[in-house]
Chain A
Amino acid sequence: MAAVKETVQHVEALEKYQHGFVTDIDQEFAPKGLSADIVRFISAKKGEPQWMLDWRLEAYERWLAMDAPEWAKVKFPPIDYQDSYYYAAPKEKSGPKSLDEVDPELLAVYAKLGIPLKEQAVLAGVEGAPRYAVDAVFDSVSVVTTFKKELGQAGVIFCSMSEAIREHPELVRKYLGSVVPVSDNYYACLNAAVFSDGSFVYVPPGVRCPMELSTYFRINAENSGQFERTLIIADAGAYVSYLEGCTAPMRDENQLHAAVVELVVHDDAEIKYSTVQNWYPGDPETGKGGIYNFVTKRADCRGDRSKVSWTQVETGSAITWKYPSCVLRGKDSVGEFYSIAITNGRQQADTGTKMIHLGEGSRSRVISKGISAGRSSNTYRGLVSAHPKAKGARNFTQCDSLLIGKTCAAHTVPYVEARNGSCVFEHEATTTKLSEDQLFYVMQRGLSQEEAVQLLVNGFVKDVLQELPMEFAVEAQKLVAISLEGSVG
């Protein structure tokens, strides 16, 4: 096993988390801690109308009465909600805000992360290359949204949540909290009280959004939590593809990221929502630091023949705890969930989906690939249920787990509730280790052990990778390789 040892040492020398830098940006904070006054402070800071403040305060009251849930297979010390900043924003310069006036430090951060914030930077690419509009959220606020004009011509609204509250209050009031109610769960309720920003998308009837939309979340400030709220509405016959990405600096203390994402899909509309989550996972040896990623994501397929497709690549975070779900209310509505969850070091992930079939002929498909390495723990937890009215509902679920190493854990906890005689639910799951034979075969062809593992793992997750928008699939594939560094042995 000398070769193995060598690989391990070699890999240990590599830099494991490439987005761990901190940027010194002139920032302003809300006072530390959480109280009704902080909620008022955030609301005032954003210049919100009274109804929004009332909504927040009500959520805060409810949150006080709730207990933190404990059922997930994740372990962490109790969170001190008073020891955190709930609002951190880069200091605004006066004057109208165009891209040129954004703090160059800030632009440098995004350049370093490889996120194109300058529209021409995208245009300068290869001719015919797909373009995508970006909303960049830095700690608590959205700093810039690109391609707004071009999207506006198509009638698509893509802006930060604060702007949407100002510019399109009728849409926000109609839809905000209609998919994830204020008191849905502990972290969603906290989010409703203190959310600071996020993205808002509205695609009008019959419009196919002309480009990929994406939001890039960055936690920079120390001791701060990020609570963003995303709301996407696809009106009848509309289509939009949306991608979110996330990174954070390496720090020794844990930071909370409790986001809420709501998707509303009307008749014949479709939303494709992809996530590449790469928050700082904490120190692989000691498990110190890292992001707690406690997110509530839910899609409401209200319309007939509506469709939602969730694709997620989860490689970061100390703890991931989220279940992107579909409420399949419409007749013949479709929900899909494709997931890759990779845990290494001391990461813990408890993730999966809920497919709630309410509409006749609704269909869903769940493909989940979990990979655990190091001393990590990776759980798939899912629910598939069919209401008595959901005649002819169909589900297919496949969850496979791959274990690399003796000290990691992989769990599969599916719940299936079938309540009518015409639904067909199929579920299969396997848990195996990386095949010695396959490894041997590939290494015989001259690949190093590290490369061989990457190749096999990429094959294992292929079904999900191909669901990602093309330009991100490549990125995700690299991410898979990076996440597994140091896992062989």
Chain B
Amino acid sequence: MTLAAALKTRDVTQLPGKRDEDWRWTDLRGLVRALPEPSEPFAGEPPRGPFADLAGLPIHVVNASDPVVIRAKSAEPYVVALHFAALGGGSHAATARIEVAENARLILLESYEGDAEAYVADHALSITLAPGASLERVVLAADGELGINVSTAQVTLSAGARYAQTVLTDGGRRQRIETRVTHPGAGADLRLDGAYLLADKRHADQTTEVLHQGVGGTTAQLTKGVVRDQSRGVFQGRIVVEEGADQTDARMRHQALILSDQAEVDARPELLIFADDVSCAHGNTIGALDDEALFYMRQRGIPEPQARALLMAAFVGEVIERIEHAPAREIARAWVAQRLEV
């Protein structure tokens, strides 16, 4: 049951829905009654995307195209901007393969864009890191109000590899950004961060699954969310420590602010542990803005809207600060600030 399978077979019954445990809060089956026609091929100047100026190699994919293949071989950090756009409605499925060779370094700045038309888009990324390789992935997802987007990255790490990810999104009609990582332990290091900033009736789902398969792996995960109006944020994190994957250190944190009585946050932080010499923890908090902090700031003469914006910026800022690539971090910061303006 995947969107990709449904698009391939043109069969709506293949869509995942409420009855699939991993999709209970992101129901596609109930939403999509009929799959739209395949998207028209796009002619004209492709949109540049937010990261185009930072990259040695900007890649644009509009309404899907041939599979994208990126291979990084140099130990010097290499910056690629990969921009997916859905224009003019319809349905399409894009794929990309990213390989980082031994000891090579890659910075992948990925972005999504959709126009005001209704579309159904599927993105499948396969990311492989060879031993000692390093990849930082920053995702900015700006789907259209009527856009349905599912992006799934399958990440395979090797010994001593380092993978860091930050996914920032403002949602869509239904949007899911999913990351599945196989983690060999063996000194490999993983960071999975994200933030969702939702308003109106938007929906965003950040789902991750990490399989720790070997001794001595670390995972750090931090996801923050701000939901307003009638929006809905979903966080599903699953960390699996397989038998024998001792000395795993895994930490997961999810925190969300609900700023309206019609907004909703659903969370499922899961730990599945089959080894005993591990240290795993998760924390999950959901609540409103701290009234006392707000009061304190207003007392100091800061008007309420600014005080709120400041508190939210500080709240989400923790995720932004962890982006290592400085120019991308600044773009991310501005992107977030724009979406927190009241």
Contacts and interface: CB of A to CB of B under 8 A. Distances in A.
Interface in A402-440: 403-433
A247 interface: no
Interface in B260-308: 260-288
A433 to B, nearest CB: 4
B287 A433 contact: no
Contacts of A416: 265-268, 284, 286
Contact of A408 (B269, B270, B276, B283): B276
Contacts of B260: 421
B243 interface: yes
Contact of A71 (B21, B273, B275): B21
A409 B21 contact: no
A401 interface: yes
A415 B25 CA distance: 11
B268 A424 contact: no
Contacts of A433: 276-278
Chain B residues touching A, majority SS: strand
A429 B287 contact: no
A428 B281 contact: yes
A284 interface: no
Contact of A409 (B261, B272, B282): B272
Contacts of B280: 430-432
B286 A411 contact: no
A388 interface: yes
B256 interface: yes
Nearest to B252: A429
B284 A414 contact: yes
B94 interface: no
Question: Size range of the interface on B?
Answer: 35 or more
Contacts of B332: none
Contact of B272 (A388, A405, A411, A427): A411
A305 to B, nearest CB: 23
Contact of A431 (B21, B261, B281): B281
B259 interface: yes
Interface in A149-199: none
Interface string B236-268: 000000011010000000001011111111111
Interface string A46-82: 0000000000000000000000000100000000000
Contacts of A403: 273, 275-276, 278
Interface string A18-54: 0000000000000000000000000000000000000
Residue of B271, B275, B278, B280 with most partner-chain A CB within 10 A = B271
Contact of A418 (B246, B273, B282, B286): B286
Contacts of A401: 271, 273
Contacts of B284: 414, 416, 425-428
B265 A414 contact: no
A415 B275 CA distance: 23
Contacts of A414: 267-270, 284
Given A406-B276, A429-B281, A418 B258 contact: yes
Contacts of B282: 412, 427-429
Nearest to A400: B281
A472 B243 CA distance: 36
Contacts of B258: 418, 420-421, 423
Chain A residues touching B, majority SS: strand
Given A411-B270, A412-B270, A428-B281, A419 B264 contact: yes
A416 B254 CA distance: 11
Contacts, number: 115
Given A71-B21, A418-B256, A424-B287, A429 B271 contact: yes
Given A412-B271, A429-B271, A421 B276 contact: no
A412 B272 CA distance: 6
B285 A425 contact: yes
A214 B125 CA distance: 59
B243 A407 contact: yes
A423 B263 CA distance: 11
A66 to B, nearest CB: 15
A427 B268 CA distance: 10
A404 B271 contact: no
B268 A431 contact: no
B263 A421 contact: yes
Contact of B286 (A405, A410, A413, A425): A425
Given A425-B285, A429-B271, A420 B276 contact: no
B268 A421 contact: no
A456 B271 CA distance: 23
A411 B266 contact: no
Contacts of B21: 71
B261 A415 contact: no
Nearest to A408: B276
Contacts of B268: 413-416
Contacts of A430: 280-281
B119 to A, nearest CB: 28
A420 B263 CA distance: 6
A86 to B, nearest CB: 32
A311 to B, nearest CB: 24
Contacts of B266: 415-418
Nearest to A379: B272
Contact of A423 (B269, B279, B281, B286): B286
Interface in A431-458: 431-433
A432 B251 CA distance: 12
A427 B253 CA distance: 10
Nearest to A422: B288
Contacts of B270: 411-414
B286 A388 contact: no
Contact of B287 (A409, A415, A423, A431): A423
Contacts of A419: 263-264
B261 A422 contact: yes
Given A425-B287, A427-B269, 13 more contacts: A401-B271, A403-B273, A411-B270, A413-B272, A418-B265, A418-B266, A422-B288, A423-B287, A424-B286, A424-B288, A427-B284, A428-B281, A430-B280
Interface of B: 21, 243-244, 246, 256, 258-288
29 contacts: A403-B273, A406-B246, A406-B275, A406-B276, A406-B277, A409-B274, A410-B273, A411-B273, A412-B271, A414-B267, A415-B267, A416-B268, A416-B284, A416-B286, A418-B265, A418-B286, A420-B261, A421-B259, A421-B261, A421-B288, A424-B288, A425-B285, A425-B287, A426-B284, A428-B282, A431-B271, A432-B278, A433-B276, A433-B277
Top 8 A-B residue pairs of the complex, sorted by shortest distance between their CB atoms: A403-B276, A424-B287, A427-B284, A431-B280, A416-B267, A425-B286, A433-B276, A412-B271
